[in-house]
Amino acid sequence: MIEYQLGVIGAGNMAEAILRGILREDCLQHNEIVAYDPVAKRQQILAMEFSIMCARDNTVPGACPHVLLAVKPQVMKEALEQIAPVISDDTTVISIAAGVTTEFMDKILGGRGRIVRVMPNTPMFVGWGVSALAAGPRSTSDDIQWTQKILAASGRTVVVDEPMLDAVTAVSGSGPAYFFYLIEAMTAAGVAEGLDEEVAELLAVETCIGAGQLLHHTQKPPATLRRQVTTPGGTTEAALNVMQASGVQDVLTKAVCAAAERSRELGK
C-alpha cells in the first residue's frame, strides 16, 4: 500500500495549479496525495479532475510527511489549530498564504514541523509561473529542495530570505496584473488610433507574448533588447521619449513599493 506523501489543505486555484504540475511531471502519483477543503464542490473538483483522495477533515492531510497549506490568510489560524495535534517534528509544512509569517505559523503549531513559506504567481496555471521560497523554523535544505521540486513542475523557483517575500509579492505575485494592465492600455491606444478593438487586442497580446519569449530564449538583458528595437529618430524612440518624460519608470517603482508596503501591512 502506497502511503500519502503530500497532504493538501485548501482547494483554491493556486492549489489546483500546483497539483496539475505535480501530476503532469510525475513528481508524485495520484494515490500519494490526499486533500481537504470545507467546500464540498471544491472537494468534488479535486476528486474528479485530479483523481486524488479527499478526506473528511484536515487531520488526514495534516498527518502526511509534507503538508501544503493553500488556505486563505484569514482562515490560516483556524486551519493550523486543527492540524496542530497531528503535526510532528518531521513534518514539512509548506504555506502559500500571502502575508502569513512563519513565526505566526510556528507559534500556533507549538514549535513542531519544519516550515517553508512560498509566494507563487498565477502563470503557474499554464506552467510558466515563478515561486519564491523562504526557509522557516527548523526547515532543512532537503525541505527546500523537496518544495522546489514540486513547484518547479509549474515554473521556475528562487530561494530568498523571508523578509524579502514582501518585495517578491510586489514584483512577481502582483506582477501579472501590471502586465495585463499594460495590454489593456496598448489595446485602448490602438483603438484610439483607429484599429478595431479585436485587432488591437490581438496585436497587443501577441506582441507582449512574443517579447517575453524573445527575452526567455535569447537570455539577453531587457535593456539590450530594448536598444536593439529602438532606431535613433524612429517610432519606438518617439514613444519611449514620451514614457521617460512622463515618469513611467518612477510611477511603476512607486506602484511596486506600494504593493510591497501593503504586503507588510497584511502580515502584521
Percent of the chain, pLDDT > 70? Answer: 99
User: 108, exposed or middle or buried, with CB in 10 Å at 0-12, 13-18, 19+?
Assistant: middle
pLDDT in tens, 119-146: 999 999 999 999 999 999 999 999 999 9
pLDDT at residue 163 greater than cutoff 90: yes
pLDDT at residue 251 greater than cutoff 70: yes
Output the pLDDT for position 2.
64
Assign 88 a pLDDT band (cuts: 50, 70, 90).
very high
pLDDT in tens, 41-77: 888 888 999 999 999 999 999 999 999 999 999 999 9
pLDDT in tens, 227-242: 999 999 999 999 999 9
Contact call for residues 37 and 43 (beta carbons, < 8 A): yes
Sorted by where each starts, the structural domains of the chain and their CATH numbers stand as 6-165 (3.40.50.720), 175-266 (1.10.3730.10)
